[in-house]
């Protein structure tokens, strides 16, 4: 039996985010799309914090994918996105949706609820309660930029570097 602690520090903030797992198969190996984060000085999955405009975690993810990989959605497109996907949070299928995304084919949430944990945030300099959903994202088949090149060039709006990295699993799960 684990001991019960009564003096546990309470988080000073909540960080809610959506994370995209975008993969491809190349030469028989799975590769993950990662993005350089200058603030953290590390490669990370495509992700972002839920903002006030986001009606749910799925709309947060779609907005972030557009901001980080393609181009920011216009205010009109953001409004349409929020309305079209307001009732969805687990699955997006372009062919069946009122939101017809030119870049994203499908999105499926991994797990039934947000993943949660408490940890110290170095950037916020305080104990933070992290809540995030992870989504498996399939881009449209005609996205040759992401299928053929090992690196994704930055857009005009962004100087970030995106790169396909091989998935290597070591140890046991």
| Span 64-123, pLDDT tens digits | 999 999 999 999 999 999 999 999 999 999 999 999 999 999 999 999 999 999 999 988
Computed over every residue of the chain, the mean pLDDT equals: 86
Identify the H or E element spanning 67.
helix 57-69
The Cβ-side half-sphere exposure at 165, using a 13 Å CA radius, reads 16
Q: What is the mean pLDDT of residues 36-65?
A: 93
Give the C-alpha separation, 15 to 131, whole Å. Answer: 6
Confidence tier at 167 by pLDDT (50, 70, 90): confident
pLDDT given for residue 89 in this prediction: 92
Question: What is the pTM for the complete model shown?
Answer: 0.84
In the chain, the domains with their CATH numbers are 17-112+134-166 (3.90.79)
Give the C-alpha separation, 133 to 89, whole Å. Answer: 10
pLDDT given for residue 77 in this prediction: 97
Position 153 pLDDT exceeds 60: no
Cβ neighbours around 162 below 10 Å, total: 22
Q: What is the mean pLDDT of residues 50-71?
A: 96
């Amino acid at each position: 039996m684990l001991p019960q602690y009564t003096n546990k520090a309470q988080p000073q903030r909540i960080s809610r985010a959506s994370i995209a797992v975008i993969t491809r198969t190349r030469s028989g190996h799975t590769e993950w799309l990662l993005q350089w984060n200058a603030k953290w000085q590390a490669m990370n999955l495509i992700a972002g914090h839920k903002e006030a405009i986001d009606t749910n975690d799925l709309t947060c993810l779609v907005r972030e994918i557009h901001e980080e990989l393609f181009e920011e959605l216009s205010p009109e497109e953001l409004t349409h996105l929020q309305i079209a996907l307001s009732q969805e949070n687990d699955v997006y299928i372009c062919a069946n949706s009122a939101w017809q995304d030119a870049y994203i084919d499908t999105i499926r949430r991994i797990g039934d609820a947000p993943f949660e944990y408490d940890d110290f945030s170095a950037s916020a300099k305080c104990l933070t309660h992290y809540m995030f959903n992870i989504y498996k994202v399939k881009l449209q088949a005609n996205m040759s930029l992401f299928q053929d090149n090992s690196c994704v060039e930055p857009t005009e709006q962004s100087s970030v570097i995106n790169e396909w990295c091989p998935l290597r699993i070591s140890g046991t799960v």
